[in-house]
Structure formats: C-alpha cells, structure tokens
C-alpha cells in the first residue's frame, strides 16, 4: 500500500468513527450524566483531600497513616486518579506514611493545555519536598509505573523501593500501540467532536470494560469516579497535549531501565488486555534481582480487581526492605 493510500485509509477510518459517534449522540445525551456524587469513599476513610502548588500546578493529594512510618507514594495511571488506590490506602496506612496524588490532567489536579509527560517526575518529587519526605517507596500502575521508573532512575537517592503494577515501560511513544480509547482521546479531530457530543461517559465505560477482566466490576459508582473527572473543562486539551508529548520520545522510559537500582516488585494481571504479561517478563529480565508476581483472572488494574492479593504482596515487599 502506498503512503498516500495509507493516509487516506487512516482518515477514512477516523471519519467512520466520527460518524458513529454522531449516530449515538441521542443515546449519549441520556447516558453521559453522572449517577451520583463522587469522592464519597474518601469521607468513608476519613481522608481529607489536600492541595499543593508544585511547579506551578495545583495538585490534589491525600495522606494516610501516622506520618512517622516509611513513606509510600501511590501514582495512578492514564485517565485515572487517586481513587484507584481506595482499597490499598487503608491497608498500608498502619505503620506507613501513605501519599496518593492526582497527576496533573487527572482527578482533581490542574488540567493545563500544555501538559507534558516529562513534568510528572518533577511534580512527584516536588510534592515530596513540600511534604518533607526525603525517601519513599514508589508504587505506580500503568502510566504511573512509567513515572515511578523515571523517578527511580533520575533520583535513585530518594527511592527506597519500586513497585510496578502493569507498568507502561515499553509502549510509551508509538500511537499504534495504544488501546483504541487512548488513540481516540489523543486524536485532535475526533477529540474535537467528542468535546461537542456528550458521550465521554460511554467511552470511559468501554475503556473500563477493557482494563477489567471481570466486567461486573464496571459498576455505576466506579464509572462515575472515572467519568466525572475527564468531563471537567480543559481535560480533553490537557490529555491531547500529554499524549503528543509522550510520542516525542518513544524510549523515554525504556532507556532509563538500566539506571534503576532500587529493589523492585513487579505485579501484573495475566489477562491484561492493554499491556501483556510479556512486558512483566521483560522487566524481570532487565532487573534480575526483582520479584515478579502474576495474578490470574486479573486485568490491567490489579489494585482494584484483586486488592487483597496486591495488598499482601505490597506488605511483604515493604517488610523486607532495608531500613531507611
């Protein structure tokens, strides 16, 4: 196929998507409104959302535990938020200083139009500076795992340990490797249509049904927690900017892998439809001293689908780390 024909085929494919989106406009209008209040889980755990200005970004975070134990920082993935750690937070809090944040562009943090992936490590490190945390264990899921890897490589003196949960280590830059909901969000033409059609909730639901092995976990409450933040003004533009920045350096994370020296736990869902378990094998090969745990009947977000198993693995890993 010639390059010109390939481009025409690609444009035709996107046009078909736009037409389909328009066709379901009527359904979307009925379906796109939230079903209830979000954030109630924080009140139930007596967590108070706080905000800090880090490198010019207003960043939302929560902090659990006594503040005196070893620090653990939880970093969510793409289109997610600190909500994804709701089951993990209360289990880690006894004996640990647990911090979960919303990366800029997501959750309750700022959504700047010029968002870049390269600002995430400085944001995480800057937040720790403001909170007086010198050294921490970084726990990251999906894109959050990529952030954790980069932080451990760039700031080894500040990372006691690394926990990677279905981490996006090898598929950062090539748009063709992205799941279709992310490709749609990153395409300016299609995303512009989405800005006009109230169907983002439908797309979020489709994405959640991909990342969970068990579709029954895609409940109305969980859907609200994911859909409401991405419907905030400014988020679509921030997401497009983020995805464009990630395609500039496809090996941004991969080339940092040899620089990571921290003890590492690799956790993966065997049925991950977005990042195959082969990526976990590659990471384990890159770090011979790492530990790998693969969870059966589990998709892309084990911390939500198999929280008890994730908590057990995390607590065992944390207990074995050397003193600060």
Per residue in 38-84, pLDDT tens? Answer: 899 999 999 999 999 999 999 999 999 977 789 999 999 999 999 99
**What ranges do the domains of the chain cover?**
1-31, 47-320
- Contact assessment for residue 315 and residue 92, using Cβ atoms and an 8 Å cutoff: yes
| 64 strand-pairing partners | 98
The residue behind tokens 């011979």 is: 288
Tokens matching residue 195: 């800005």
Least Cα distance to 140 among 112, 115, 169, 118 occurs for 169
pLDDT for position 191? 57
- Rounded Cα distance between 269 and 274, Å, is 10
pLDDT for position 33? 54
The residue behind tokens 């880090």 is: 54
- Rounded Cα distance between 116 and 244, Å, is 8
Tokens matching residue 237: 């533009």
Q: Checking DSSP bridges between strand 50-54 and strand 264-269, what pairing results, if any?
A: unpaired
The residue behind tokens 């795992």 is: 145
Regions of the chain where pLDDT drops below 50 = 1-12, 14-16, 18-19, 21-32, 197
12-19: long-range contacts, CB 8 A cutoff, minimum separation 24: 14/187, 14/189, 14/190, 17/184, 17/190, 18/189, 18/190, 18/193
pLDDT for position 27? 43
pLDDT for position 8? 40
pLDDT for position 69? 83
**Ramachandran angles phi, psi of 87, nearest 5°:** -85, -25
**Ramachandran angles phi, psi of 231, nearest 5°:** -95, 0
Instruction: Spell out the alpha helix ranges (H) of 132-179.
Output: 143-154
The residue behind tokens 């390269």 is: 118
Strand ranges (DSSP E) for the chain? 50-54, 57-64, 71-75, 97-101, 136-142, 159-167, 264-269, 291-295
- With H, G, I as helix, E, B as strand and everything else as coil, classify residue 62: strand
Q: Which distant-in-sequence residues (6+ apart) come within 8 Å of 226 by Cβ? A: 79, 80, 81, 83, 204, 208
User: What order of strands is seen across the sheet that includes strand 50-54?
Assistant: 50-54, 57-64, 97-101, 71-75, 136-142, 159-167, 264-269, 291-295
Distance, CA of 218 to chain centre: 17
pLDDT for position 87? 98
Which pTM value belongs to this model? 0.86
- Contact assessment for residue 81 and residue 225, using Cβ atoms and an 8 Å cutoff: yes
- Rounded Cα distance between 195 and 233, Å, is 10
Give domain 47-320's CATH superfamily: Alpha/Beta hydrolase fold, catalytic domain (3.40.50.1820)
């Amino acid at each position: 196929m010639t390059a010109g024909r390939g481009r025409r085929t690609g444009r035709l494919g996107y046009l078909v998507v736009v037409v389909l989106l328009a066709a379901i406009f009527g359904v979307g209008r009925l379906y796109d409104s939230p079903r209830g209040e979000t954030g109630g889980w924080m009140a139930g755990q007596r967590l108070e959302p706080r905000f800090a200005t880090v490198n010019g970004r207003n960043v939302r975070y929560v902090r659990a535990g006594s503040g005196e134990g070893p620090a653990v920082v939880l970093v969510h993935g793409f289109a997610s938020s600190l909500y994804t750690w709701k089951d993990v937070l209360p289990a880690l809090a006894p004996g640990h200083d647990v911090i979960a944040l919303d990366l800029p562009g997501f959750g309750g943090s700022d959504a700047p139009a010029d968002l870049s992936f390269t600002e995430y490590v400085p944001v995480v490190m800057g937040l720790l500076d403001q909170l007086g945390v010198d050294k921490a264990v970084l726990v990251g899921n999906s894109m959050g795992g990529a952030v954790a890897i980069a932080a451990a490589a760039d700031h080894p003196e500040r990372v006691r340990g690394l926990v990677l949960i279905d981490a996006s280590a090898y598929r950062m830059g090539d748009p063709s490797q992205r799941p279709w909901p992310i490709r749609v969000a990153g395409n300016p033409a299609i995303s512009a249509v989405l800005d006009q059609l109230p169907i983002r909730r439908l797309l979020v639901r489709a994405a959640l049904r991909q990342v969970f092995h068990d579709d029954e976990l895609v409940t109305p409450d969980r859907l609200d927690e994911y859909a409401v933040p991405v419907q905030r003004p400014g988020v679509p533009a921030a997401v497009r900017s983020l995805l464009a920045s990630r395609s500039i350096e496809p090996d941004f994370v991969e080339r940092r892998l040899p620089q990571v020296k921290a003890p590492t736990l690799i956790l993966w869902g065997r049925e991950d439809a977005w990042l195959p378990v082969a990526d976990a094998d590659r990471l384990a090969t890159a770090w011979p001293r790492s530990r790998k745990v693969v969870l059966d009947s589990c998709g892309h977000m084990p911390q939500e689908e198999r929280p008890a198993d994730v908590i057990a693995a995390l607590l065992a890993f944390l207990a074995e780390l050397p003193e600060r």
